[in-house]
Amino acid sequence: MKTANLCFIGAGFHASTNIYPSAIEAGAEIQAISTRDINRSKDALQRFGSKGTPYNDYKEMLNSEECDGVVVVAQPEDHPSLVMDCIKAGKNVYVDKPLGMSAHEADEIAKAAEEAGVILMVGFMKRYAPCYQKLKELITSGTLGQARSFQARFAVDSTPFCKNDEQFMKLAAIHIVDLVRYLFGEVVQVSGFKSSQNEYISQSISLKFENGIVGSLYFTGMNAWSRESENIAVTFDNGFALADEVNALTIHKSQTFDDLPWKSLAENDIVFTPSASPMSGAYRDLYLRGFVGEMAHFIDCCKNNEEAVSSGHDNVRTMLLCDRILTELG
């Protein structure tokens, strides 16, 4: 059942592979698509089974279409101007990260959305990934006591699209920076080191949060990591949890035994994983990585006129942390 009519700006690889199918799965009807080429817009509509309207001028689309929201997935440098035009047109808008290449630029856009009374959501899909949502529940519930420390790793071959530390931080690692804010709150202290050479990125960062939690981030963008990899381990008062490669969460509760535990199969963990089925098709990845979840959240926000979890103002705080980390790295 379709629940929202959305217009789209952009139909590149990421949009076509992840965002369009996720929006449809979340209940959206594609009302219109605008790209720089009218034929490309027509092809995108046909590809996703929509009878919507094609445009080669997004401003014409914004003026002509009444919709629940606009989804912007274009080149990062184009996002600020595209989003500002959506806001001026009075449209709710979802935009892929990053929104602005600095905290100052992000703040101007967030304030504009607030003044216009429209919803502004930034695409930090990891917040909506089932693995990290369950980890967030574990932290919030206090089931294992208070979270004390964490270690997070993100490794990817970013050399084709990131040529320096700033680009890597704001186009790739920003997802993990935003994730630790989502999980643990705001940061009060940052330190770090780097061993980067142009597009070959190596960063080690330490963070202390307002609530006392401490943690480390290991970031690398090298062609050595042709297999993208990420995980985060959290230590609590009474156990630990490991979120691994987006698709598994292992929870270990502290245990006591009458006899030495190595004498028998006494230790035990709870492991959450998705089921494996050919019936999932490509949707399994879209759900597990959080793309469907974030599109569903945007639709809910538009329908209920509620602020998004990853709002424009929240994005400002993520950008501030990215800028602080880059300053510390030197």
Q: Does domain 130-277 have CATH number 1.10.150.120?
A: no
Cα 27 from Cα 1, distance rounded (Å): 6
- pLDDT, residue 242, reads 98
Q: Does domain 4-124+299-304 have CATH number 3.40.50.720?
A: yes
Cα 148 from Cα 215, distance rounded (Å): 9
Check: CB of residue 83 under 8 Å from CB of residue 29: no
Interacting residues of 27 by C-beta distance below 8 A, sequence separation 6+: 1, 2, 3, 4, 296, 299
- pLDDT, residue 245, reads 97
Rg over alpha carbons for the chain, rounded to the nearest Å, is 21
- pLDDT, residue 57, reads 97
Beta bridge partners of 311: 121
Give percent helix, percent strand, percent coil of the chain, each to the nearest 5.
Answer: 40, 30, 30
DSSP structure class, residue 58? H
CATH 3.30.360.10 residue ranges of the chain are: 130-277
Check: CB of residue 248 under 8 Å from CB of residue 132: no
- pLDDT, residue 266, reads 85
Cα 221 from Cα 207, distance rounded (Å): 20
Q: What is the 3-class SS of 110-122, one letter each residue?
A: HHHHHHHCCCEEE
Place of tokens 């680009």: 167
Place of tokens 């502004």: 120
Q: Which string of DSSP letters, residue by residue, matches 247-292? A: TEEEEEE----SS-GGGTT----EEE-----GGGTTHHHHHHTTHH
Cα–Cα distances (Å) from 38 to 30, 51, 85, 100, 116, in that order, read 16, 14, 20, 27, 30
CATH 3.40.50.720 residue ranges of the chain are: 4-124+299-304
Cα 21 from Cα 285, distance rounded (Å): 11
- pLDDT, residue 260, reads 87
pLDDT per residue over 249-304, tens digit each? 999 999 888 888 888 888 899 999 999 888 888 899 999 999 999 999 999 999 99
- pLDDT, residue 261, reads 83
Check: CB of residue 70 under 8 Å from CB of residue 93: yes
- pLDDT, residue 277, reads 84
Which positions of the chain have pLDDT values less than 50?
A: 1
- pLDDT, residue 2, reads 61
